[in-house]
Chains A and B, each alone.
Chain A
Amino acid sequence: MSQHHRSRVVRTGLVAAAAAGALILAGCSGAGDDNAASTGFTLSYAVTNSAVVAPYKALAEAYMKENPDVKITLNEVPNDSYGQTLTTQLNAGNASDAFQTAPGVGQTYSTVTLAKAGLLEPLADSATKVIPSGSESQFEVEGDTFGVALGLTFVGSVLNATTAKSAGFTYPTDWDGLISSCKDVAAKGKSLFVLAGSMPPNTGLMAMSISATRVYADDPTWNEERAADKTTFASSQGWKDTLEDIVDMNKAGCFQKGVQGAGFDSITSNMLQGSSLAAFVPSGSASDLKQNAKDQEFQIQAIPPAAGGEAFGIAGADYALSISKKSKNKAAAQKFADWVATADGQKVFADAAGSLPVGQDLSDTPFAPVADIVDKGDFVPLPNASWPNAAVYDALGSGVQGLLTGQKTVDQVLADMDKAWG
């Protein structure tokens, strides 16, 4: 009897323990499924400067404010290792649910590159509707959209209007005027432009801004022709003119002294201290500079055309938001992507990133000097986003540094770019 009783007690205890364990486990998984899986997700993006609020963070905070039940876990990654970090995580299958990508194919974390590798989840029609006109190939693969376009950027130069005004300087409207202005400004101990000459991303950006009027104004489909092997960099007069203009600028003293070895820090310090008037940086940098110097005004300027040419620019979405194919919280991430594609979401990002406010009157904004170009649609998307690999842009940036130091000729740089194209 006592033995039976004891065994019953043991059996009851075991059943109770198993039931309790199952309930605890169910409770744990239930909490994860109901809360984290349905409304929470993770978001990765690159950060460059801790003093400046990353626009993706601004998006996440605004979305969580509108949707208090949503918890977005933010993963901030340093900008210079972002591509490497993201691709490693995607390969390992532990990337965030949603993350920053770069439109097109030019970077290691480009939208189309990752989509073709089967690592991205196709997005809803809401994402397709916000793709800037002419930039479809930078977001779509075989009819599906893989990135929400964000941050329409104008690529030209950013002028410190406060310093320019105090120096009695007016931004030139033609190339000869620009060369002449360089000499005048240099004679006063300043430089018209500050360039991070040792940083290929900055020298490359300068070359691309100049190429707008030399290459793409006459032939907006030049990249497609290059992809079809109908032309080359080396045989393009527009690209030759672009690089020769840079050599002329160097000779005219357009850049600060010691430009060949300058880093990104020179841009910030020269622009804020007034020793240089303008820099070749994306338009969004005007917002970053403004955050650091609230008493100064910054304007977006287009690069003046060559004699006989017309004003033309480069503008396009510089950022994108994508969702991982292996995300376990796709529904929540997709809802967020839908909201990002709305006018509200786009405005939050544009305000935080200092992007071009599409469809608004630009006359009272830093974009006033390029308002005509934008209104007429006289621009093409960022050229390097359509180049087949990152090495082409690197060859351009590194080559421009070679032009400044005298290590390379224009023809050598163009040949290197063709070689990198493959």
Chain B
Amino acid sequence: MSATMYSETEVVIVPKRRRREQRQGTRPRRAGVLSFGHWWWALPGIVLVIGIHYVATAVGGAYAFTDWTGIGAFHWIGLDNFVAIFQDPTKIGALGNTLFLAIASVLLTNVIGLGLALGLNRLIKTRYALRVLFFMPVVLSPLAVSYIWKFIFDFNGPINAILNSLGLQSWVRPWLADPSFAIWAVLVVIVWQQTGFAMVIYMAGLAAVPPEIEEAAAIDGAGLWQRFWHVVLPAIRPAVAIATTLGIVNGLRIFDQIMALTNGGPAGATETLATQVYKQAFSLGNFGYGAALALLLALIILIFAVIQQRLTASRPEEA
């Protein structure tokens, strides 16, 4: 005897596979709504996605093994582009900057975002207005935001004006052209803009945590930190997985902010793989070399995404 039970909704939308699964004593109904359609109806969409996305990407990736300049003929040169990348200190520096910005931004945005989400989850009366304020930077254009920050960091901008007015002339500097500070200035802008996104994900996660469990833990004598570490954090593990995965992917391919703030300068101090891909392929006419950099970047994003998913995935016993 089959133990399968259907809700009224399931009866309507799920097609019946076997007649004997029908509940006894009920009249057979017409086929469910889901049977109205065939898998091959999706074929045009599948073909377009494969053709436009995957085939185009694969063809672009193939140029990584050529010396194509963007015009005219090209030669297959095997792995020469990749050898050149790893022998060039500026590209190793760009790789280091890419990893630094990705890891630092994902750590900072998630820690601050989680803190904001916890703070604005309950109790505070103005939490709705504060949520909007903290989320606002996310909806703004990264390019527009970066130009505003460029003005703030400018030699004649407000930061140096404040320092001058406080008598701290020795601290005044061209922040975005200072080799020691430029990368940190870029990081500040990225974190400022993306923290709101992490906050919203964590707020959605926290909304699913029943207050009763926290109350029970509190009654059992758990402190604030213990309640967070042993009750809340395990409960929002899926939110952590989503926020950190998106954060690391966005951090690895960061582009707009750097192009607007520093253009990779001073003298390459803030170059990343993404900015190098653009410059090599489109500004300097080394399309094959740029494609090799892009392939490398895609590979790094894939590796980090997989590692990060493994780290934050729910353990089987918790499922």
Contact = CB atoms under 8 A, between A and B. Distances in A.
Partners in one complex: yes
Interface of A: 83-84, 87, 90-91, 108, 113-114, 116-119, 197-199, 257-262, 389-391, 394, 398-399, 401-402, 404-408
Contact of B179 (A114, A391, A405): A405
B176 A261 contact: yes
B286 A257 contact: no
Contact of B266 (A114, A391, A402): A402
Given A108-B283, A261-B154, A391-B286, A398 B177 contact: no
A342 B57 CA distance: 48
Given A87-B71, A390-B283, A258 B155 contact: yes
Given A398-B267, A401-B265, A261 B72 contact: no
The interface centre, meaning the residue of A118, A199, A394, A405 with most chain B CB atoms within 10 A of its CB, is A405
B282 A84 contact: yes
Contacts of B286: 389, 391
A390 B262 CA distance: 20
B155 A399 contact: no
A261 B71 contact: no
Given A108-B283, A258-B177, A90 B71 contact: yes
B96 interface: no
Contact of B71 (A113, A390, A394, A404): A113
A198 B265 contact: yes
B263 interface: yes
The interface centre, meaning the residue of B71, B155, B175, B267 with most chain A CB atoms within 10 A of its CB, is B267
| Chain B interface residue bracket vs A | 20 to 34
B68 to A, nearest CB: 10
Interface of B: 69-73, 154-156, 174-179, 262-263, 265-269, 279, 282-286
A114 B267 contact: no
B70 A87 contact: yes
Nearest to A114: B71
B79 to A, nearest CB: 18
A407 B179 CA distance: 7
A117 B266 contact: no
The interface centre, meaning the residue of A87, A259, A389 with most chain B CB atoms within 10 A of its CB, is A87
B242 to A, nearest CB: 35
Contact of B155 (A114, A119, A257, A405): A257
Contacts of B285: 83, 87, 108, 113, 389-390
B177 A91 contact: no
Nearest to B90: A416
A407 B269 contact: yes
The interface centre, meaning the residue of B72, B179, B263, B286 with most chain A CB atoms within 10 A of its CB, is B72
Given A91-B71, A389-B286, A390-B284, 13 more contacts: A108-B70, A108-B71, A108-B285, A119-B71, A119-B72, A198-B263, A258-B155, A261-B174, A262-B177, A391-B286, A394-B279, A405-B266, A407-B266
Contacts of B269: 407
Contacts of B155: 257-258, 261-262
Nearest to B279: A394
17 contacts: A90-B71, A113-B69, A198-B262, A198-B266, A258-B155, A260-B178, A260-B266, A261-B154, A261-B177, A390-B284, A391-B284, A391-B286, A399-B267, A401-B266, A402-B267, A402-B268, A405-B179
A342 B73 CA distance: 35
7 A-B pairs with least C-beta separation: A258-B155, A261-B177, A117-B72, A402-B267, A261-B174, A260-B177, A108-B285
A398 B70 CA distance: 23
The interface centre, meaning the residue of A197, A258, A259 with most chain B CB atoms within 10 A of its CB, is A258
B175 A261 contact: yes
Contacts of A90: 71
Given A84-B282, A261-B176, A405 B71 contact: no
Contacts of B178: 260-261, 405
Nearest to B173: A258
B158 to A, nearest CB: 14
A398 B268 contact: yes
Contacts of A398: 265, 267-268
The interface centre, meaning the residue of A197, A260, A406 with most chain B CB atoms within 10 A of its CB, is A260
Contacts of A84: 282-283
A187 B154 CA distance: 23
Nearest to B287: A87
B266 to A, nearest CB: 5
The interface centre, meaning the residue of B69, B70, B179, B269 with most chain A CB atoms within 10 A of its CB, is B70
B267 A405 contact: yes
B266 A258 contact: no
A119 B265 CA distance: 34
Contacts of A116: 72
A377 B179 CA distance: 42
Contacts of A117: 71-73
A83 B278 CA distance: 13
B171 to A, nearest CB: 14
B287 to A, nearest CB: 9
Contacts of B174: 258-262
A404 B283 CA distance: 23
A258 B267 contact: no
A399 B266 CA distance: 9
Contacts of A402: 266-268
A116 B71 CA distance: 10
A417 to B, nearest CB: 13
B110 to A, nearest CB: 31
B46 to A, nearest CB: 26
A401 B123 CA distance: 52
Contacts of A108: 70-71, 282-285
A357 B15 CA distance: 83
Contacts of A390: 283-285
A93 to B, nearest CB: 12
Nearest to B88: A419
Contacts of A119: 71-72
A84 to B, nearest CB: 5
A260 B178 CA distance: 8
